[in-house]
Amino acid sequence: MALELIDVCHRYGSQLALDRVTLRVEPGECYGFIGHNGAGKTTAMRVALGLERPRSGRVLVDGIPLDRQPVAAKERLGGLIETPGFHDAWSARRNLYVLGRAQGQDTKTSRQEADRLLEVVGLEGVGPKPVRAFSHGMRQRLGIAQALLGSPRYVLLDEPGNGLDPEGLAELRVLLLRLAHEERVGVLFSSHQLHEVTEACDVIGVLRKGRMLLEAPKDALLSRSVAAWSLRTEDPVRAAGILNEAGLTNSRPVEGGLLVQLGQHSPEDLLRRLVVGNCPIHSFAPRTPTLEEIYLGLGDEPALASTRPRQEVAEPATSLASPARRTWRVVRYECSRLWSGADFWVPFALPPLLALAGVWERKAQAAEQALAKVVSTTSVNAFESTGFGLQRALALAGPFVCLLASQSVAGERSRGTLRNLVLCPLARRDVILGKVFALLATGAAVIVAVELVALAASAWWFDFVGVFEVLPNGETMLHVSAEEIRPEMVRALISPLLPVAVFATLGMLAGCVVRRAIPAFGAAAALVLALDLGRGFFKRQVSPDWFPSTHLPSFLGDSSPVQRFIDVAQGFGNATVSPSSTHLWYWLVGAVLLAALVFQRRSIR
């Protein structure tokens, strides 16, 4: 059993980031991964966790190929890459709890695991506090806790000591050693602090310019790298003279004596020369070089290749959750994320308030109409006022859902929280489908809220009766019965669901393509405007039915089923013809497939 990268190559454009990298991490060992900035350490770890797709090579987790069986492989992996990202408004405990639920833990287990890990990383006293109040070091500790969720067999930590004080570094070292030696977890961690690697690791891997120069057990590496002898003497000047006579001109002074490169000389021969030369000697012993000296002494070519055997055969995979269950986990996670905080509920409340304003406006118009002296008029009923409320509110529903959906991927990616979700034992398609279903549920919730407000306000101020003409003498004449209006109202209530779903998927597609929060928001806004303007500019070239905005009320004109409902409720004989919704299915399916394809191929940062 092992976590293995085998001949992995990766490029960023024309830059070769990883060049046939091979490394192996076994359970129960602590692997120190070192290299200069830009050497490719983070890229290698991202590839190992499934956040990047390598151009070539393989990643095996206990023999399970990560690319073909991502769920089974990621059940064994946990990771902290670069700066940890969390939902700042949530508490530390809630962040861990929600991620635990996304991994498949039940409610009780997830709560217990969150509390246990907060204690493990020293944050048990601040679990209820929002993450926005955390220092960099506290966020780093929380990131380590997140990497340990689910008790993974292999934990990959990218610069885990960043932001930690000396006490925190000591605690981290103890934690890593306990994970490896007591809990038999394979730990791969990178660090710029070479002394930390020396103290904590069992195996050392050196990466330079994208190439593995060295991979070996620490003890074997240090024992094979005896490069000098330490000579402690009271008279280093005399000792240097004797060594020069023997042809050793590269000795250098250190505190308390000299550091001697033996070359072809035996230590016995040099010791005899020093004694004959009356040089007082306190000690003459081999000096093991530090890891820093070994690292700095390496060239750009591999110095010591790994001889540890590879394991090619996968062990039997554990019982995995079904795709439907995994998708449901993402739906639950996404709804928890979307439906929390004022930044969601304030915009969410705007369409229902507009519906209420539309009904109120129609009530005011009815009052003015009653006072006016006209020959005849039709009485205002609850059907008509409901239509005006829907028309006012639904013009905003499509753009609202589209803009919200644009942040489902791009916003999470910018905050770093998308990475945490993708690290869970989920396939990429589970993530994208779960987000789509959560957005569809959100869009449906907006529509239902609008319709309930419009219906309730209309029922409060008016009656659901037919269309009557009020004659000057006060008598009334029925034009359209309530039974004739109700089918149109049902169609008007149902019809917004599909176009709002289309706007949701188009917004998600914009977020997948653009990837950053603010540009994705701008792209979604431009898309909404372009679709609304397009139906006017291209109505002769393309059927208006192709444009999603045709199927919803719009500030630029309304030809939707809602307008037809209003026309019928007002008794108009030439009611608006409703557009066919068949074309919307092409938009919906196409946007979901494109978003899934883009998301599948994108790297997650």
CB distance 33 to 205 below 8 Å: yes
User: What is the structure's pLDDT at 307?
Assistant: 47
Mean pLDDT over each residue of the chain, to the nearest integer: 86
Same domain, 348 and 460: yes
The sign of the CA dihedral 400, 406, 410, 416 is positive
Q: Looking at mean pLDDT, say which of 182-196, 308-322, 513-527 comes out highest.
A: 513-527
In a domain, 297, yes or no: no
Q: DSSP character for 79?
A: E
What's phi and psi for 556, nearest 5 deg?
-95, 10
Neighbour order of strands in the sheet with 252-254: 252-254, 257-260, 228-233, 281-287
Give the count of domains, the chain. Answer: 3
CA distance 497 to 551: 10
From its phi and psi, is residue 135 left (phi > 0), alpha (psi between -120 and 50) or beta? beta
Global pTM reads 0.84
Hey, is 17 helix, strand or coil?
strand
Burial (Cβ within 10 Å: 0-12, 13-18, ≥19) of residue 395? buried
User: What CATH number is given to the structural domain containing 239?
Assistant: 3.30.70.100
Same domain, 260 and 362: no
Which helix (H) or strand (E) segment holds residue 459: the answer is: helix 428-461
Same domain, 39 and 156: yes
Mean pLDDT calculated for residue range 415-440: 95
Residue with more model confidence, 339 or 541: 339
Give the 3-state DSSP-derived string for 183-203, with helices as H, strands as E and coil as C: CCCEEEEECCCHHHHHHHCCE
- Write the DSSP assignment of 374-421 as a string of letters: -S-EEPP-HHHHHHHHHHHHHHHHHHHHHHHHHHHHHHHHHHTHHHHH
pLDDT band at 423 (very low <50, low <70, confident <90, very high): very high
459-463, Cβ contacts within 8 angstroms, sequence gap of 24 or more: 459/382, 461/359, 461/363, 461/382, 461/385, 462/363, 462/366, 462/380, 462/381, 462/382, 462/384, 462/385, 463/381, 463/382
In a domain, 300, yes or no: no
Same domain, 464 and 362: yes
In a domain, 314, yes or no: no
CB distance 56 to 7 below 8 Å: yes
Same domain, 97 and 137: yes
Same domain, 127 and 7: yes
**CA 187 to each of CA 75, 148, 241, 575: distance values in angstroms, whole numbers, following the listed order:** 15, 11, 49, 70
Residue 545 scores a pLDDT above 80? yes
Out of 42-56, 199-213, 255-269, 356-370, which region has the weakest mean confidence (pLDDT)?
255-269
User: What is the structure's pLDDT at 249?
Assistant: 66
CA distance 513 to 333: 22
Same domain, 17 and 84: yes
Residue with more model confidence, 217 or 437: 437
CB distance 393 to 351 below 8 Å: yes
User: What is the structure's pLDDT at 293?
Assistant: 59
Beta strands in 88-158 (DSSP E): 154-158
pLDDT band at 556 (very low <50, low <70, confident <90, very high): confident
Alpha helices in 495-581 (DSSP H): 497-514, 517-537, 561-569
CB distance 383 to 474 below 8 Å: no
In a domain, 304, yes or no: no
In a domain, 315, yes or no: no
User: What CATH number is given to the structural domain containing 84?
Assistant: 3.40.50.300
pLDDT digits (tens, 9 = 90+) for 163-187: 888 888 888 889 999 999 999 999 9
CB distance 190 to 81 below 8 Å: no
Residue with more model confidence, 576 or 387: 387
CA distance 191 to 156: 12
Hey, is 580 helix, strand or coil?
coil
User: What is the structure's pLDDT at 500?
Assistant: 96
Dihedral over alpha carbons 96, 100, 103, 104 (to 10 degrees): -160
Domain boundary among 217, 242, 271: 217
In a domain, 392, yes or no: yes
pLDDT band at 208 (very low <50, low <70, confident <90, very high): confident
User: What is the structure's pLDDT at 117?
Assistant: 95
Burial 11-25 (b: 16+ CB within 10 A, else e): eeeeebbbbebbbbb
CA distance 280 to 234: 6
Same domain, 185 and 333: no
Hey, is 5 helix, strand or coil?
strand
Same domain, 254 and 389: no
Mean pLDDT calculated for residue range 242-269: 76
Among 428, 415, 411, 445, which Cα is nearest to 335's?
445
Neighbour order of strands in the sheet with 15-25: 15-25, 3-12, 56-61, 64-65
Structure tokens at 174: 């103890």
Mean pLDDT calculated for residue range 95-111: 95
- Residue 244's domain comprises 228-287
CB distance 329 to 102 below 8 Å: yes
User: What is the structure's pLDDT at 191?
Assistant: 80
In a domain, 175, yes or no: yes
Same domain, 353 and 277: no
User: What is the structure's pLDDT at 168?
Assistant: 85
CB distance 147 to 80 below 8 Å: yes
Residue with tokens 């070192």: 34
CB distance 407 to 570 below 8 Å: no
What are the beta bridge partners of residue 190? 33, 158
User: What is the structure's pLDDT at 226?
Assistant: 55
Hey, is 282 helix, strand or coil?
strand
pLDDT band at 118 (very low <50, low <70, confident <90, very high): very high
Among 462, 475, 488, which Cα is nearest to 572's?
488
Residues 6+ apart with CB under 8 A from 220: none
The sign of the CA dihedral 508, 510, 512, 515 is negative
User: What is the structure's pLDDT at 418?
Assistant: 94
Residue at 275: amino acid letter? V
Same domain, 208 and 261: no
Domain boundary among 238, 267, 287: 287
User: What is the structure's pLDDT at 194?
Assistant: 72
In a domain, 310, yes or no: no
Same domain, 266 and 328: no
Burial 449-460 (b: 16+ CB within 10 A, else e): bbbebbbebbee
